[in-house]
Structure 1
Amino acid sequence: MFHTLYLETTRRCNFRCEYCSSGSNQPNKWENDKSADDIIRYILEPAKDVGTTFIDFSGGEFFLRKDALLLLETAHRMGFKIGISTNGSLLTEELVIQLKHLLDNNLLISLGINSFDEENKATRYREIELFLEKLDLLQKYNINVNISVTMGRFNCETFNNTIAKIRSMSLPFNRIPFTPRNSPHKELMFDKEILKNYLHPALMKSHHGFVSFVPFFLNPNDYEALTGEKAFQHPVPAHPSIGCWVGSFYAVNPAGDVAPCPLLSDNMSAGNVYTRPLKEILYESDLMKKIVHRPSLGGKCGKCKYNWTCGGCRVMAYYHTGDVFGEDPTCFIDEISPEELEKFEKQTRKHFRNYVRMDELSRSIIRQKAE
């Protein structure tokens, strides 16, 4: 559990996206960044002790920190796998060369795009050309790239084309549900009908996005058969993680507050790393203990056949109903026939098998490079 840390190190950003979930468009609302020494002492070192293996550095815009390279170098030296979520605007060729020299192949950069149409500029505060330019630069130096796609009511009609375009580039991607984390625009969230008719059909076409999406119709027996990992051995599936990633990852915001998911940060906290040890927060806080115990989830999520492999999106449950432990109201499992569900399960099994193979190949390549 808790193998991945999403670490927001700053609220500062050189963009002012209207719907920013981290609140970077409200600079006067937040306190100053913590020092690198504090981040290393209270977050990186304890994260290593609890078994975290991957850290995704984020913001705001992470590269606005003058000590960004120091944090990366320290995390690399400590043995973490490293990711960076960035808007890409500060990725000059000089910086990319520095990153390559510093981290070699131990780097995954996530670039965000919401659409290859006009919706992207409206929600991401930048032109498509900048995204493609930075993508070319990273690929020139063989930097691993992931694409993050925020999905909501505003881009549902172009979502299928966006995913198809990313698939044509043979790039992995993850979906991020739009939430009003630090934005008042709840009307931009997707609902059950949008998920059923637009978003889920697009996600089901490829194994490249299986890092995280729900509803996830994988039979626990199939998970066990395809991975060799015993189902229900742990509170959540973690090798690999699927469905809702709560319990596999956790988030720490710039103030040091720990949340079960980055999109729940600033709205709920299991504790603060500067006043309580990280290990205690993750394993002893009421919030974290309860949220990973999926059989106790409310409504259909607690009773579902896919309770362990899916869990329902805790973020959607919280922002739509106010109850983070409640059922995911965007799930449409109760509106499809047994025949449709069987079809979804077969599709999910097929793509999950491919995802597991891809994951195993990736791990093998990493091991070979390390030897």
Structure 2
Amino acid sequence: MMNQSVEKVAPDRAVRRLRHDIDDRPMIVIWEVTRACQLVCKHCRADSQPVAHPEQLSTQQGKDLLDDIAAFGKPYPIVILTGGDAFERPDLADLLSYGSGLGLHMALSPSVTPKLTQESVRQMHAAGANSMSLSLDGSEAATHDGFRGVPGVFDATLVAARWMRAERIRLQVNSTVTRDTVEQLPKMLTIMLDIDASLWSLFFLVPTGRGQQLKTLDPPQIEDVLHWMADISDIIAVKTTEAPQYRRVLTQRRAAKEQGLDPRDLEHRGELYHRLTNETAALLAGRELTRRPPRPPIDINSGRGFAFVDHRGDVYPSGFFPHHCGNVKEVGFRHVYRTDPLLQSLRRPEEFHGKCGMCEYQEICGGSRSHAYAVTGDILGSDPTCGYVPQAMREPHERPGHATHATS
């Protein structure tokens, strides 16, 4: 999802920086248009319900929200309509068309249910959905359908992906990474290549909602997955959700390469990295691959260039916090984003607590605020999923000029 507010990257840059003032406007706004959904996904942050909440934003209130977002002016934020299942709203095409008519880049994140058909994909594309995303949480039906709580969703997702590509819709695939699914990543990579996904986003599970019952990776395992992602980033565009330390990893790898070192930092890689790497090599052997310059990630974070509006109009830094910052029906989205004290504090990473506030990578990373809150209860606290030790916290003999890497 490119946007003219993103600064172009020189060849030696690992991370894209926003050109506009993040205190003034976000780059991405996700609107949960409804909580209604027929799936019962194990990792969902929310409790889905079979029918729409009576207080969800009406069609007119939704249009008012889109008007408010467009009033930021250029560069307009990207607006992603999600759920629940967005197709549970009968006015979905009207909302997409209205937002597109305002000049907004409209994206759609539907659930794979019987409401998602080739014709409905075509209609939503015509209405203004320039890109769509699907979820695929395993390389086989047993894993993915087990996540979704409904049999047959895995096969239906692959069919839907091909519909979207046939309609020339930019396709993003979102995959949740847990201890039970991480070993399937290499096989999932081959699926991404087969369906011609434009972008693969790996979501590092936040233990909230129903996701509390699943097993998260530990910091060294996450580090291994991030390095594996960097390795494959020249054959498919990849990004992370709730693992902003990927941007730190890419920056470290670029610096290591410039010093003539192996950017994979093999000395500190664990068994998981080697298993993923070996399995990937075996699966891709003999396959003709198109390699391209990696797609640098963008330095946005919860409340910092990013915001979430739920079905009733409450604004959150992301979808994984129980405390909202205001309601769009009362004061408007722009007012909430620009003035709420919590959102403002999330744009000041130098004021974060613990090692995230001391880290030299805080401006491009800042840690997962969702993981910090879910585990410690402190939204400004250290991200417990990151194993990196900031330079300011190391012993003198471990600092640059003595020893280099310290990632555990």
TM-score of the pair, normalised by structure 2: 0.71
Structure 1's 95 and 30: CA in aligned 2 closer, same or farther, altered over 3 A? closer
1:130-175, CA deviations, whole angstroms, 9 ceiling, x for partnerless residues?
A: 1111111111221111001112233122234324542565421112
Partners of 2:297 and 2:186 in 1: CA distance: 25
Partners of 2:194 and 2:303 in 1: CA distance: 30
What SS does structure 2 have at the residue aligned with 1:15?
Answer: coil
Partners of 1:240 and 1:133 in 2: CA distance: 28
Tell me if the contact between 2:36 and 2:51 (Cα under 8 Å) persists in the aligned partners: no
What SS does structure 1 have at the residue aligned with 2:232?
Answer: coil
**Is the aligned partner of 1:201 residue 2:227?**
yes
Alignment-derived partner of residue 210 in structure 1: 239
What SS does structure 2 have at the residue aligned with 1:107?
Answer: strand
Letter paired with 2:116:
L
Letter paired with 1:251:
F
Structure 1's 340 and 253: CA in aligned 2 closer, same or farther, altered over 3 A? farther
Alignment-derived partner of residue 78 in structure 1: 102
What SS does structure 2 have at the residue aligned with 1:12?
Answer: coil
Which residue, out of 125, 135, 142, partners 2:161?
135
**Is the aligned partner of 1:257 residue 2:283?**
no
Which residue, out of 26, 36, 48, partners 1:12?
36
Letter paired with 1:101:
A
Which residue, out of 58, 67, 77, partners 2:91?
67
Partners of 2:190 and 2:231 in 1: CA distance: 9
Structure 1's 274 and 61: CA in aligned 2 closer, same or farther, altered over 3 A? same
Partners of 1:29 and 1:184 in 2: CA distance: 22
Alignment-derived partner of residue 77 in structure 2: 53
Partners of 2:116 and 2:173 in 1: CA distance: 16
Partners of 1:290 and 1:219 in 2: CA distance: 25
Partners of 1:187 and 1:14 in 2: CA distance: 21
Q: Matched residue pairs, number?
A: 320
Deviation of residue 23 (structure 1)?
A: 1.5
Tell me if the contact between 1:148 and 1:175 (Cα under 8 Å) persists in the aligned partners: yes
What SS does structure 1 have at the residue aligned with 2:381?
Answer: coil
**Is the aligned partner of 1:178 residue 2:201?**
no
Tell me if the contact between 1:153 and 1:194 (Cα under 8 Å) persists in the aligned partners: no
Which residue, out of 184, 191, 211, partners 1:158?
184
Alignment-derived partner of residue 298 in structure 1: 353
Name which of structure 1's ranges 80-89 and 202-211 shifts more when overlaid on structure 2.
202-211
Tell me if the contact between 1:156 and 1:194 (Cα under 8 Å) persists in the aligned partners: no
Alignment-derived partner of residue 341 in structure 2: 286
Tell me if the contact between 1:9 and 1:34 (Cα under 8 Å) persists in the aligned partners: yes
Deviation of residue 49 (structure 1)?
A: 1.6
**Is the aligned partner of 1:308 residue 2:330?**
no
Q: How does 1:77-96 map to 2 (within 5 A)?
A: 77-89=101-113, 90-96=115-121
Tell me if the contact between 1:214 and 1:313 (Cα under 8 Å) persists in the aligned partners: yes
Tell me if the contact between 2:204 and 2:240 (Cα under 8 Å) persists in the aligned partners: no
Structure 1's 184 and 5: CA in aligned 2 closer, same or farther, altered over 3 A? closer
Partners of 2:196 and 2:404 in 1: CA distance: 29
Alignment-derived partner of residue 218 in structure 2: 191
Structure 1's 245 and 286: CA in aligned 2 closer, same or farther, altered over 3 A? closer
Tell me if the contact between 1:219 and 1:305 (Cα under 8 Å) persists in the aligned partners: no
Letter paired with 2:57:
K
1:167-197, CA deviations, whole angstroms, 9 ceiling, x for partnerless residues?
A: 5654211122222432262553333243134
Alignment-derived partner of residue 112 in structure 1: 135
Alignment-derived partner of residue 145 in structure 2: 121
Among the aligned pairs, what percent are the same residue? 22
**Is the aligned partner of 1:244 residue 2:301?**
yes
Letter paired with 2:137:
N
Partners of 1:209 and 1:153 in 2: CA distance: 20
What SS does structure 2 have at the residue aligned with 1:185?
Answer: helix
What SS does structure 2 have at the residue aligned with 1:55?
Answer: strand
Alignment-derived partner of residue 230 in structure 1: none
Deviation of residue 300 (structure 1)?
A: 1.2
What SS does structure 1 have at the residue aligned with 2:183?
Answer: helix
Letter paired with 1:46:
D
What SS does structure 2 have at the residue aligned with 1:333?
Answer: coil
Letter paired with 1:214:
P
Alignment-derived partner of residue 100 in structure 1: 125
Letter paired with 1:175:
L
Alignment-derived partner of residue 385 in structure 2: 330
Unaligned runs of 5+ in 2: 1-21, 256-295
Alignment-derived partner of residue 356 in structure 1: none
Alignment-derived partner of residue 145 in structure 1: 171
Tell me if the contact between 1:9 and 1:58 (Cα under 8 Å) persists in the aligned partners: yes
Structure 1's 31 and 151: CA in aligned 2 closer, same or farther, altered over 3 A? farther
What SS does structure 1 have at the residue aligned with 2:382?
Answer: coil
Deviation of residue 115 (structure 1)?
A: 0.9
Partners of 1:295 and 1:309 in 2: CA distance: 12
After TM superposition, the runs of 4+ consecutive aligned structure 1 residues lying more than 6 A away are 335-340
Alignment-derived partner of residue 56 in structure 2: 33
Partners of 1:82 and 1:29 in 2: CA distance: 22
CA RMSD of aligned residues (A): 2.9
Structure 1's 27 and 87: CA in aligned 2 closer, same or farther, altered over 3 A? closer
Partners of 2:166 and 2:380 in 1: CA distance: 44
What SS does structure 2 have at the residue aligned with 1:154?
Answer: coil
What SS does structure 2 have at the residue aligned with 1:194?
Answer: helix
